[in-house]
Amino acid sequence: MSNARNVVIVGATGAVGQQFISILEQRNFPTKRVRFLASARSVGKKVTFRGKQYPVEELTEKSFDGDQIGLFSAGGSISKQFAPIAAKAGCLVIDNSSAFRMERDVPLVVPEVNGEEVTNAPRNIIANPNCSTIQMVVALKPLHDAARIRRIVVTTLQSVSGAGARAIEELRVQTRDVLDGKGRDQLDRSIFKHPIAFNAMPQIPSKADFNEAGYTSEEMKLLNETRKIMGDPSINVTMTCVRVPVFFAHSEAVNIETEKKLSAAQARAILSRAPGVQVVDDPMAMKYPLAIDAGGTDPVFVGRIREDQSIPNGLNLWVVADNLRKGAALNAIQIAEEVLRREPAKV
């Protein structure tokens, strides 16, 4: 294919890295060459891509010769060190960490919302937003365009896969141990400070990083990233992020206040036409988005659409999406697709 690119995956053995591999295959992304990088401890492992096995190579400063698109998901410190090196070597970096998201000269992109920003990457780096932000803005941008959102109140219910593969295993083992009769003090807690099985923790990340106002870094991402992606610094956002004992997919209870009134029926019609959104909204028949159904799928699901009876121009929404796919790997690959669509000759 004339627009095929040399692609490198950084963090190829991690949960998001594995999703990169799967989604590149599923979407038939045009590749000439694909390479898979990780830390030294992963060297010797093999990954399978399009029916062939490839060795995992060690990530070094000399890793990016000839690479044209880099999909990074190896953590913020790795991105800060290696993304500029890759970018200087001519590799367009699409970074899944928080390292560059709020930097002025790095676009923060959700293709359904602000895809045009991929053409404005002077540092050859494009940032992939936080998982919870992505699904929320996909659902809210069409409503913002129709009625201008003034305020967002959101509570996220986030799956353990957002904390990585070891967190998934911790939930699995704790669930088994609780059912076997073990007490709280007997549960392994290497990832989360408190037990996650049969529990809900109003703190993400699990380390103590509350700011002076009492908000965590994860919560502040919903404010700062939403404003940047939506291109409207006047939007007010207040939020609480909660870790729940779900393996995959994040759920969000979202309340919005708009300048112009939107009825539930109008909002439902707008969202039914919105790119990347699937409306599931028949609560009388017990049909609404569920994390168990969203896992392994691509859409942002929206349901429980109803007017807020406490204010004149308010709506409530229930928003669910797979955090490893649309919340991470899929969005990054959609960014790469948008780059190819808009600038096929420049990457």
Catalytic residue among 91, 144, 241, 250: 250
pLDDT attached to residue 149: 98
Which pLDDT tens digit goes with each residue over 283-297?
A: 999 999 999 999 999
The whole-number pLDDT of residue 257 equals: 98
Are the C-beta atoms of residues 157 and 252 closer than 8 Å to each other?
yes
CATH 3.30.70.260 fits 5-128+328-342, yes or no: no
Residue matched to tokens 């939107």: 262
pLDDT tens-digit profile of 161-172?
999 889 999 999
Report percent pLDDT > 90 for the chain: 94
Residue 91 annotated in active site: no
Q: Which of 123-132, 148-157, 179-188 has the lowest mean pLDDT?
A: 179-188
Query: What pLDDT shows up at residue 345?
Result: 47
Which fold would CATH assign to domain 133-323? Dihydrodipicolinate Reductase; domain 2 (3.30.360)
Equal CATH topology for 5-128+328-342 and 133-323: no
Q: What is the mean pLDDT of the chain?
A: 95
pLDDT of residue 115: 97
> Which of the residues 131, 144, 194, 241 is marked catalytic?
131
347, pLDDT greater than 60: no
pLDDT of residue 44: 87
pLDDT tens, residue by residue, 34-68: 999 999 999 989 999 999 999 999 999 999 999 99
Q: Write the CB contacts of 180 (distance below 8 Å, at least 6 apart in sequence).
A: none
Distances in Å between the Cα of 113 and the Cα atoms of 18, 124, 203, 278 are 25, 20, 28, 15
Please count the residues of the chain: 347
Active site residue 194: no
Residue 2 pLDDT grade (very low, low, confident, very high; cuts 50, 70, 90): low
Predicted confidence at residue 208, as pLDDT, reads 73
**Domain residue ranges in the chain:** 5-128+328-342, 133-323
Element housing 174 (H / E): helix 165-179
Q: State which amino acid sits at residue 125.
A: I
Q: Which of 326, 323, 330, 9 is nearest to 164 (CA)?
A: 323
**pLDDT at residue 346 in the model:** 47
* Burial class (CB within 10 angstroms; exposed 0-12, middle 13-18, buried 19+) of 306: middle
